[in-house]
Amino acid sequence: MDLSQYKKAWENQPDEKNKISALDIYKMTQAKSTSIVKWILIIGLLEFAFWIIINHFTSGIEYNKVYEELNLTYFFKYSYYLSYIIVVIFLFLFYKNYTSISTTDSTKTLMRKIIKVRRTVKFYVYFNISISIAAIILLNILIVNTPNGIETLLGIDQSNTDSSNMITIYVASQIIGAIMMILILLLFYYLLYGLLLKKLNKNYKELTKLEELN
């Protein structure tokens, strides 16, 4: 039974029964919200494990030798460490949100907690995308400012007269690649967190209607 049906039923019930019905709706909404926040935490942990596995298997590929020649090994190393630290911080925030929302005992408090959860997840997504963009820009700045950096990266013979064309192609491919990466990340995070946030937002709207009915 949705809230509109509950509202019609309440009009023909004593006040005492109305209160019981409101409490039932609140408990149901709190349980659903707690479950959603728990899944956000679980997905965050799985995502953290996923990136660790990806970094582990890509750390030994042949292409990394080129980055060693360009003295960019430490750039990638510290970038990985920074990303791990950031994810751990947000996982801690996800955990705090989960424990906090599961012990909430009032409608208004639960509404505030839902808003906080949504803000935390959205900030996490936007922050990750922003960091990825910044890393790509910084990496390319370092490569461009390294003597023969692009030529070394692409394996171009410096005496080749077509090297300028290859450099142009490289810059264009980086821009296209960055756009594609952003789109993929947006889709990735929408599937992971966006659908859950939609359900959480629906719970928030139900609580808002519940407050209005009371």
The secondary structure of 152-189 as a DSSP string is HHHT--TT-TTHHHHHHHHHHHHHHHHHHHHHHHHHHH
Q: Which two tokens stand for residue 160?
A: 């080749």
Q: Is the pTM of this model over 0.75?
A: no
34-81 pLDDT, tens digit per residue, is 888 888 888 888 888 887 787 766 665 555 666 666 677 777 778 778
Q: How far apart are CA 57 and CA 49, in angstroms?
A: 13
In the chain, % helix, strand, coil (3-state, to 5) comes to 85, 0, 15
Q: How far apart are CA 41 and CA 97, in angstroms?
A: 9
Domain ranges of the chain: 3-213
**Number of other residues whose CB lies within 10 A of the CB of residue 212:** 9
77-117 pLDDT, tens digit per residue, is 787 788 888 888 988 999 988 888 876 667 778 888 888 88
In this prediction, residue 105 carries a pLDDT of 65
209: amino acid identity, one letter? K
